[in-house]
Structure formats: C-alpha cells, structure tokens
Amino acid sequence: MGGGGGAGDQNNNEGTAGANGGGIVIIMADVLEGNNRFIIADADSVKTTAHSDGAGAGGAGGSVLLYVNNITNSLRVTARGGKGGNLDNSGLNNYCFGPGGGGGGGVLWVKSASLLPAIQANLDGGINGMNVWTLSSICPYGATNNAEPGDTGGVVTGLIVPIDSLPFVPLTVSICCDTTVCEGAWVSLSVNAAASEPPVYVWSSGDSAASIVKQVTQSTTYQVSVSDGRFCEKILSATVTVANNPPDVIICCDTTICPGDTVQMTVINNTGNPLNYQWSNGATTPSFAEQIFFTQGYSVTVTDNSGCEAVKYANAVVTPVNVHITATPDTTVLMGQPVSLSAVGDSIWQYTWSPATGLNATDTQYVIATPSVMTKYCVTATNDIGCSASDCYEVKIVTPEIKIPDAFTPNGDGINDLFTVFPLNYAKVYSMKIYNRWGELIFETRTGEAWNGTYKGAPQPNGNYICIVDYGSPYAPDETIRITKDLQLIR
C-alpha cells in the first residue's frame, strides 16, 4: 500500500534514488462531509536529473481506506504515482543509461459495495523519465530506454475493518530498581507495565514473570523485554551492583555475673551510618539489658542499607554459688559437746560464719562449735566475682538435769529407806551434801552414794534437812550447776 520507487543504477557517477511512496490514509466515520475537499496520498516524483547513470523511479501512490457509510457533497481522492527521474547522458556516446519509470497509482478501498457517487478518484500512475541531453545519437533527447509510466491504481470495495473490543492502552513500562547489595544477597526486581493486552515478559535471565528474585554473587545487569499483543515492545534494564562491605561493628562484651544479675550487651557502630539490629533474644536496638539466672549466649545480626550483614557473638556466664552445712554429730548434743560444722562448697570460695559465739573460727570452710545453749549458725560463701549464698544449721543442746526427792522414810521397811539424787539428760553428779537444821554437814558424797538417814552411825531424827547438789555435763566439767533443796526425813 504505497511503496517507494526503485533506485537508479549506481556506476560511481550521479545516479538518483527512487522517490518516496504516498502515505496511508484511514478514515472511519458514519457520515463524511466532503465539501469539495481533497484526501491526498500522492507519491513523490524524482526531481533530480541523473548524470551518466541510472535515474530513480517515481514513488507508488498511497492507499486511502474509507470506512464510511455515506459521503455528502463532493470528495476528491488522489493517490497518484510519482514521475520517474530524467537522465542527462552527456559525455557518453557509446551507450545510453536508463531514465526512471513512473510510480504506480495507489488504491482506494471503500466500505460500500461500489464507489459512492460523491467520490472523485485520481489513481493515475506517474509518467516515466527521459533523456534530456540533446547531442547524442546513441541516446537521443526523449529516449526512455524502455522506462515506462506507472500503472493506474484501482478501487476496492467491501472494506471490512476489524473492530477491537478492547480499548487501546499504549504500552507503558517501568522497572525497579538499580541497587547495591552484598555478595550472596537476594534481590527482587519488578516491572510495572500497562497495555491493551496482557504484557509478555522476557528477562535476560530466562524468566518470564513481571517480578523476579535472584541471589547475586557479582554485579549484574538484568534486561527485560516487554511486549503486548499489538507488536509493541519496550526494553528496559536494571543493574545490581555487588559491594562486599560488612558493617564495621563490635559487640561488647563477654562477661561473668551472678544469678539474677542484669547483663547488658551493646553494639559499637563504627560506620557512622544507621544500621538495623536483630538480637537472638528478639531485641532490635543497639543495646539491651535483661536479668538472667543461667549462662546465656547472645548473637546479633547487623545489617546496613545495602543489605550487607555482620554477625557478632558474646557470652554471659552465670556463676552460681550453692552452699549447705553438714554437722557431725548431726543429732542433739550435750552441753559442751563439740560439733563439727562443714560448709559444702568450692574450696576456693571465701566463708564467713556467724555468730562467733562458741566457734573456734569464723573464716574457714570447716569450724568446731561448742555452744552452751541452742544456737543457729549461718555461713555465707562468696566466689571470686562476689556472688554469694548462705545456709544455716541449728545446734540443739541437751541441758543436764537432776531430780531430788522431797522426803524419805529410813525406817527399815525396805521402802524409800535411802535418799539419793536421780540424774537426767546425761547429767553427772559431782557432789551431794546434807545439812541439819543447825547447819552441820552430816553427809557428803562425790561418788553417788545414797544417804541412809544416819550421822556417825546414829539415826537422825525426823525433821527438815538441807540438800545441796552440784552437777553438770560430762563435756563441760568447769560449768557446774548447784541446786539447794529442803528435805523431809520421816520415821
């Protein structure tokens, strides 16, 4: 539908090119107002004369498509072929070059079954060129050398124009985005496209989706071709630059603490740029503090705006102190009886006992306790970083006692004839003395004998007597207990 003319022969002289063909005109309307106007799709003519070389042909007439139901008034349609180029064959008398042929007439294509009366069509072909040099017998003036005028174009009826049910949407495409990442990072690239029909994507990576996700190990330019069903195509690209620069950070610090203390971890940022933090305990700030009771390892992943990561580690070691007391013997003891108390724990710890009363030492792991009364002893163990724990043990004392009768009847009937003291709770009687009412010592024993009621072999009379007893614990001979009590002698 409207092509260019053929080029002339080029023998390194001055040939001429073929002229441009006529354009293509498409009009779709129900009624077209002609108003004696023109629709022109004429081709160009060759206006330059060739010299001693072939001349170009005129362009072919264009195409006019009228998809209309009616035309009012007169409408003139021209789609004429262009004139072929002339030839100046001067200087060559032994042969004749060819002028250009005329371009063919164009085509008029109408919807109606026949050409509407209002249309005046001129579809003539262009005339051919000729030799314009007059002084040549081989190639006389007017010679055409078989160059011919163009054929007349034609009218075609019954035009059918396919009507697309989809509204036309020009193909528009954008790609996102050029970026810089670390080696091994995953990158998402996406294309946003709009078109009348679903776009078709062809990536240089072989993918065919609008978005792709790639792991990059080196700088790469990704190209994508986007086309629609109307043969429109656009090609875009995005460059992913790989830059291996992990953030320069330090985690502070490995530490040793006591159970229940607060540990603080901090990332020191040496980059001067904002960073993202992800700690193993869920924290997302450069530093955090938390109470812990057991040894805990921490890690933090630090990411910069390019996706480069640095992973750092630190440990918080919890050093518990557990101590308890064992005693030997571990039962109730007599007053003055020694008890060995042992703090069960690490030998390198420091130990402090309290109270000091009855202890042979207060700063050793093992002590000897000889309390005179029931006493609770406590020990505190402290390790090398100041963690401590305590335990207590109560030493229970059995206090010696004696039972002294109120009276006795030394009448020889075999019942209650002797007066004696009864020791209780492992008491040891050191002496027993009997005095009459005048204060005269009438009986004394240091070996536990009983009094039979006589003095120097003579029975003593009824009445009140005084009994004085010294006793104590066999483990505390220096701690004597004395009891004085009235005694009734009854005969």
Which domains does the chain possess? 1-163 (no CATH), 172-242 (2.60.40.10), 249-317 (2.60.40.10), 324-398 (2.60.40.10), 401-489 (2.60.40.1220)
Write the DSSP string, 317-345. Answer: EE-----EEEEES-S-EETT--EEEEEES
pLDDT at 305: 82
Q: Is the pTM of this model over 0.85?
A: no
- Rounded CA-CA distance 105/3 in Å is 10
Q: What would the two tokens of residue 39 be?
A: 């629709």
Q: CA nearest 471: which of 408, 424, 435?
A: 424
- Per-residue model confidence as pLDDT tens for the chain (491 residues): 455 555 555 555 677 788 999 999 999 999 999 999 999 999 999 998 988 788 999 999 999 999 999 999 999 999 999 999 998 877 666 777 889 999 999 999 999 999 999 999 999 999 999 988 877 677 888 889 899 999 999 999 999 888 777 788 899 999 999 988 888 888 999 999 999 889 999 999 999 999 999 999 899 999 999 999 888 999 999 999 988 788 899 999 999 999 999 999 999 999 888 999 999 999 999 999 999 999 999 999 999 887 788 999 999 999 999 999 999 988 788 888 999 999 999 999 999 999 999 999 999 999 999 998 899 999 999 999 999 999 999 999 988 999 999 999 999 999 999 999 999 988 999 999 999 999 999 999 999 999 999 999 999 999 999 999 999 988 888 889 999 999 999 98
* Signed CA dihedral, 151, 157, 158, 162: sign only: positive
Cβ 398 vs Cβ 474: under 8 Å: no
Write the DSSP string, 238-300. Answer: EEEEE------EEEE--EEE-TTPEEEEEEEE-SSS--EEEETTS--SSEEEEE-SS-EEEEE
